[in-house]
Amino acid sequence: MTAIKSGNYSDFVANFKPTLKINSPGRINLIGEHVDYNNGFVLPTAIDKHIVFQFQKTEGEICNVYSATFDTMLTFNINEVSPSEKEWENYVLGVINQIQERGKVVGGFDCIIESYLPMGSGISSSAALECGLAYGLNELFDLGLEKLDIVKIGQKAEHTYVGTQCGIMDQYASVMSKDGHVIQLDCQSIEHQYIPADFGEYKVLLMNTNVSHNLADSAYNTRVAECGSVVKTIAADHNNVASLRDVSLELLNSYKEKLEAVAYQRASYVIEENIRVEKAVAALKANDLVTFGEMMYGSHDGLQNKYEVSCDELDFLVAFSKDYDSILGSRMMGGGFGGCTINLIHQDAIDEFVEAASKAYKEKFNIDLTSFFAKPSEGTAIVTI
């Protein structure tokens, strides 16, 4: 077993005899931001960085879940699950509640969670946490859940216990991804296509601003509501409209006068982003990475100016990248207000760019930038012990 630094829980860790180990990955999304909950198209994949779960069954009804990241233990009775005051505990309890809501019986268990994913940086440590736990419990108690059930359990746990009205992308990418591919996911039909992540001499570089502005949670739900209000207004006259996916730019524009200016602006971003994803997918299939990169820049522009979920630190890094011909595209990734930018960069230019960007970022914000590669990788999986 991996040595885990633990303070108060060193006995628990030392005596742990895991029978099951799960790798649950973080994810990137190349393009298609804030469109999953609007039933649009997204282009994510799991990456080669994980939360690692170890499980053992116990005799009674008591469960212990130890987060090595926080050096904190959550202890609860499996038959008395209810929401907690502590945010991270709700990811765990919410998943168990969702499994139980489906009539499945989970017994007592212990679990150790070790994470190699930065939290709140847009690579969805939350989905990795939810889905790794659901995946592990499915195996441990032979629950007979399908992968798509695990995805939906994670998403619903976030809605009910955590309170974020998230779409399905993060959980889907974490569970369903295939090594060396990106997923083109249609969030309306929940159908996907794997596309080889063939970027030739270009690499996917993540740059973590290491800021996480606390506007993120409330702003996320506000955006969901703003988009919902547009759908409601248009659907009053058009009963075939169930989401922004069913709204063309022409139709939206014909409602401009009837809509709140901000809501109109949000919806126009979403519809344009959907168009960009389709163009980006066609470009990727045609090996036209220049067009692909232009779509990424377009995505950031919309997120910054129309959807207004970016921040100075992210905008600075994206603007900085534009001076480099070796970078084809750059944009903020994830919910926004901090976290990472995702960059498509020529392999020969990486060292120079990372050094220059880190220096400039430090000078401007007095914060250290963290850069790392993301390799398109397999979704949640059992690890041999």
**Catalytic residue list:** 170
* Residue 280 tokens, joined: 């980006």
What residue number has its CB nearest to Mg ion?
A: 126
The residue (of 132 and 298) whose beta carbon lies closer to Mg ion is 132
Give long-range contacts, CB 8 A cutoff, 24+ apart: 185-191.
185/36, 185/41, 185/42, 185/43, 185/44, 186/41, 187/35, 187/36, 187/37, 187/38, 187/39, 187/40, 187/41, 187/42, 187/245, 188/39, 188/40, 188/243, 188/245, 190/148
The residue (of 63 and 216) whose beta carbon lies closer to Mg ion is 216
Which of the listed partners (ligand ADP, Mg ion, none) does 120 bind, with a CB threshold of 5 to 8 Å by partner kind? ligand ADP
From residue 224, alpha-carbon distances to 42, 229, 244, 252 in Å are: 16, 9, 11, 17
DSSP state of 139: H
Contact letters (x/-) for Mg ion, 106-125, by CB under 5 A? ------------------x-
CA-CA distance, 174 to 169, in Å (whole number)? 8
Q: Are 221 and 165 in contact (CB under 8 A)?
A: yes
The residue (of 39 and 124) whose beta carbon lies closer to Mg ion is 124
From residue 97, alpha-carbon distances to 51, 158, 161, 309 in Å are: 21, 11, 9, 31
In the complex, the smallest distance separating the C-beta of residue 99 from Mg ion, rounded to whole angstroms, is 20
Which of the listed partners (Mg ion, ligand ADP, none) does 39 bind, with a CB threshold of 5 to 8 Å by partner kind? none
In the region spanning residues 214 to 253, those forming contacts with Mg ion, defined by CB under 5 A, are none
* Residue 259 tokens, joined: 């809509």
Owner of token pair 């695990």: 150
The SS3 call for residue 159 is helix
Q: How many residues bind Mg ion (CB under 5 A)?
A: 2
The residue (of 130 and 226) whose beta carbon lies closer to ligand ADP is 130
In the complex, the smallest distance separating the C-beta of residue 65 from ligand ADP, rounded to whole angstroms, is 9
In the complex, the smallest distance separating the C-beta of residue 356 from ligand ADP, rounded to whole angstroms, is 26
Which of the listed partners (ligand ADP, Mg ion, none) does 115 bind, with a CB threshold of 5 to 8 Å by partner kind? ligand ADP
Q: Are 61 and 105 in contact (CB under 8 A)?
A: no
Strand-pair category, 181-186 with 191-196: antiparallel
Which of the listed partners (Mg ion, ligand ADP, none) does 69 bind, with a CB threshold of 5 to 8 Å by partner kind? ligand ADP
Q: Are 276 and 307 in contact (CB under 8 A)?
A: no
Which of the listed partners (ligand ADP, Mg ion, none) does 88 bind, with a CB threshold of 5 to 8 Å by partner kind? ligand ADP
The residue (of 83 and 108) whose beta carbon lies closer to Mg ion is 83
In the region spanning residues 175 to 204, those forming contacts with Mg ion, defined by CB under 5 A, are none
In the complex, the smallest distance separating the C-beta of residue 124 from ligand ADP, rounded to whole angstroms, is 4
Determine, following the binding rule CB under 5 A, whether residue 126 of this chain makes contact with Mg ion.
Answer: yes
Determine, following the binding rule CB under 5 A, whether residue 330 of this chain makes contact with Mg ion.
Answer: no
In the complex, the smallest distance separating the C-beta of residue 357 from ligand ADP, rounded to whole angstroms, is 21
- State the alpha helices, DSSP H only, in the chain: 10-14, 87-101, 125-140, 147-157, 169-176, 216-235, 249-253, 261-285, 289-305, 312-321, 350-365
In the complex, the smallest distance separating the C-beta of residue 170 from ligand ADP, rounded to whole angstroms, is 7
In degrees and rounded to multiples of 5, residue 70 shows phi and psi of -95, -5
Binding site for ligand ADP (CB under 6 A): 51, 67, 69-70, 87-88, 91, 113, 115, 119-122, 124-126, 129, 334
The residue (of 49 and 104) whose beta carbon lies closer to ligand ADP is 49
In the complex, the smallest distance separating the C-beta of residue 28 from ligand ADP, rounded to whole angstroms, is 11
The residue (of 87 and 355) whose beta carbon lies closer to Mg ion is 87
Binding site for Mg ion (CB under 5 A): 124, 126
